[in-house]
Structure formats: structure tokens, C-alpha cells
Structure 1
């Protein structure tokens, strides 16, 4: 029995080691071939920048699709968008892969770090309790521009939180205030002031359904939603997308169709 257990443990360890995805050494570019390019592609697949189908068409070949994925990763991590996998990109990729850890267990959430970026676009909740969380996509991949727009008094829009492509969380409106993110809405078919009872979270994404939500965004979102759900005792069925509460139906489509609700819910 002990021998069988030892063999089983060893096999499990070998399997885990075999499936571990790590960042390859720096110095890869368009036209390169080999196992280090495949290692880079596997990392980009894990983080949502490439699909397995894309890699299957050219495993180990640094082609245009791999360059585009590297460029997208660089843009999301505020690096020069050269498409060259150099030292800075290697460091960012290594950090991103290392942050791919399991979220806290239910009931153990604390508020994640936030950057305060106050917006004037808010008002009083009028005594309403918070019982809903509404997720949005911003409609662009430019976090700085999205943040500036929601802080502009002329925009007349805001959210309580915004998650940038690198997972950084900005808080624009205090939880106790009514942010302007949902517009005319309903909750489970009943007309209501959604803004008055909800926390709004904007996720930086163009909403095309093709641009992936980043691994860093999912991690930060799980921590933030987990904390808010716990803090305000929000029912699981009141964690919704803008498209679920907007009226008339079809007025909104966010978050985009490629948002992985199952991944979020699994961490809560």
C-alpha cells in the first residue's frame, strides 16, 4: 500500500510538473522557432491572449499571431508594444503567471487594494441598501481614457470601481453613494432604481467578444466581488451583468459574451 501510494504521489507530481506553465527566457521575436517559442505560446494561451487552436496552426513558430498576442499583452501591461519578447515583457509575463493563484475561500475575502480616483458623478442612495452588483465592460481597451471619461462631470456617468487590463482597481465613487452606471433598469423583471441599490464595476474591455478579459482582471474581480458580496450580503443571483438589468431588453450587452461567468462564480 505504501509503495502504491508513493508511486501515485510521484505520478501526480510528475503530472503537475508537466502541466506547469512558465515564462521562457527573453529574446524571442518574429521568425524564431523552437521549444522556447512553444513555451511562450503556452503561457499566452494560459493568460487568454492566444487560443489552443491558434497555437495548433504553428506550434513553436513565432508568427504574426504570436506577435499580435505578445503586443496585446504588452499593451495591457503598459509596456512598449513592439511585439518583441524582451526582458521587460519576460518580467511581466513571469509576474502574470505567478499571480495565477486560487482566490480566497468563501468567507475570507478582504477588500483588495484600490487606487482612489474620485468622480463627481454620484449622488445619495436615499437610504437604499446595497443588495446587487452589476458588471460592465467599458467599451474600449484604453483604461486611462475610460477613467478620465468617468471622472469628467460632462460625461454624467460613473461606476464605483474600474478594473484596468493589468488588474489594477480604481475606486471612483464610495460604496455609500449612488454611482451612475446602470440607467433605466429592473431586477428580476421588477422595475427598480438599479443605481440606488447596486455597486457598479466597469471592466476595461472593448466588448467585441473577441478581446479576452485578462487573467489579472479575473483575479482582481474575484477578490473585489467576493469582498462586496460578503460585506453587503449580496445574494448570488443578484451578481449580474448590465444586460441583465437594463430595460428595454437588448439595450445593453455587457459584459461581452466571452466573459467567463463560471470562472468568477467558482471563486466566490
Structure 2
């Protein structure tokens, strides 16, 4: 988006220590809450049965979504589908986590280094899953100015990430929060709250179609989008430009026409 004309519509990197996820003791069921439930949820997130957005709403609450995830895990492992986390489910979860702890396969992505530059311009996703990535150009070549604008409460605009001309990545809003980057929109022709389900990435570029996007930007963008696509299981056809989701059609033009989509996709 050209951030000065955007319309407002209303975790964090995994550390090496946090990457170690283990199965909690057996005996958890619907209605339980506390650190052992959170441990179970973290394990289910790691194995792909829950999303981070689903478990970010409370401190370890065994609710309907957790029960559904346990039931799905049980079905996949040919266990009684009770939704109760008992001894058999504990043993299967422990085994699955052991298998999942193998070194990453070649071609997998880790989160690139980011500079934290928090913006107040965000709100809750309301439990919505992340399934879309939206790319923008900022509308100027002044990264410092663009960053300051998105961090200004009066601007009422933001993005999750901004890529400067030198490839440096700034994170303004946590992935789990709803940044204000897309305005009124649709996804593949269906009206939707794009901000509520997407990650927004601003690329510092004036949007003229004549100013090249830099090699450093393409390199950082490929790593960042690759990581986000992998982390949130974003379908390839949901990696889009602002112009693809904005309504009415033609309201936005970013990223500019000289952005090389083929170069990005070839690296993912």
C-alpha cells in the first residue's frame, strides 16, 4: 500500500530454548487449564494440529479447539477418539514429537533476523488463523520516514514487517496480532477481513514502476515469506499483492508493476 493513503480497519521468533517441545503428563481433559495444558497445546501446534492463533487467547485452557485437536491426533494415530489426553495419547504424542525433532530438511526456512520496532497500530485477530501474506510498497524510498509513519498512532496504519532498501527487516506488529495494512478487501473474489487473516509486508519502494526493488530486498523477502509460508502453512496462491485483495478493483497498485513475482516464487 501507499501507506499515507491507507484506510484503517480497525509470537514472536521462536528461541532455541523454546523450540524444545515435550509431551505433558497424561490426565488432561476438557475444562482443565494451566501450564500442562499450555504444554499440550504447544506440542499440538508443533505437530500441525493447532495454530498459534488458536492458543494465543488464554493461558492454557483446554477448550473446544484443543479437544478437537486431540481428537484429530487420536484419529490419525488409530486411538480411541475421546478427546481425553490419557496414557495412550501421551505415549503417541511423545513418539510423534521425537520423530518431529529431526534436523530440518534442506530447503526449509528459519525466521530471518529482524529489528523490533513496535507500532501501536494493531488489534486482536479474534482467533482467526493466518492463511494469507500480502505484499505492499510503501510509496516512498525513505525507509526511516516510512517506519516512523507506521509507528505513529495518528497514522492508523501499520504492517507486520517492513523491508528497507538495504534488506534490513523491521518487525512492527507481532504475527499473532492484526496489523492495519490492507483496508477493505476480498480474497479470491470473496469479501473478507483481509487484515484479520493475513501477514502484511511493506517493501520500501516509491511504487513508480521505475525504481528497482533491490537484490537485498528480494533476498530478505524470500527468506521472510518462505518462513511465514512454512510456519503458518500459507497456500502458494494466498501469497498476494495489495492490488490483488483491495476493493474496489484498482484501488491499490502495489507492489509496483516492476516487482518480480517470478523471482520471489522461484526461491520459495
Both proteins in one fold, TM over 0.5: yes
Once the two structures are superposed, residues 197-235 of structure 1 have per-residue CA deviations (whole angstroms, 9 ceiling, x without a partner) of 000000000000000000000000000000000000000
Q: Once superposed, what is the RMSD of the aligned Cα atoms? A: 22.0
Which is bigger in relative contact order (C-alpha 8 A, separation at least 6)?
2
After TM superposition, give the deviation of residue 129 of structure 1 in Å.
0.1
Distance 2:197 2:58 in 1: 50
SS of 1:253's equivalent in the other structure is: coil
The answer for unaligned runs of 5 or more in structure 1 is none
After TM superposition, give the deviation of residue 105 of structure 1 in Å.
8.4
The verdict on how the C-alpha distance between 1:13 and 1:245 changes in structure 2, with shifts beyond 3 A counting, is closer
Residues 133 and 199, structure 2, Cα contact 8 Å, conserved in 1: yes
After TM superposition, give the deviation of residue 108 of structure 1 in Å.
1.2
Number of residue pairs matched by the alignment: 268
After TM superposition, give the deviation of residue 27 of structure 1 in Å.
72
Once the two structures are superposed, residues 117-159 of structure 1 have per-residue CA deviations (whole angstroms, 9 ceiling, x without a partner) of 0000000000100000000000000000000000000000000
The structure that has the greater radius of gyration is 1
The verdict on how the C-alpha distance between 1:3 and 1:36 changes in structure 2, with shifts beyond 3 A counting, is farther
Distance 1:164 1:80 in 2: 52
Bigger shift: 51-60 or 207-216?
51-60
Distance 1:138 1:128 in 2: 26
Distance 1:121 1:75 in 2: 41
Moved over 4 A (4+): 1-107
Residues 99 and 216, structure 1, Cα contact 8 Å, conserved in 2: no
Distance 1:5 1:83 in 2: 49
The verdict on how the C-alpha distance between 1:89 and 1:223 changes in structure 2, with shifts beyond 3 A counting, is farther
- TM, length-normalised to structure 2: 0.61
1:64 aligns with: 64
Once the two structures are superposed, residues 84-141 of structure 1 have per-residue CA deviations (whole angstroms, 9 ceiling, x without a partner) of 9999999999999999999998751000000000000000000100000000000000
Bigger shift: 93-102 or 185-194?
93-102
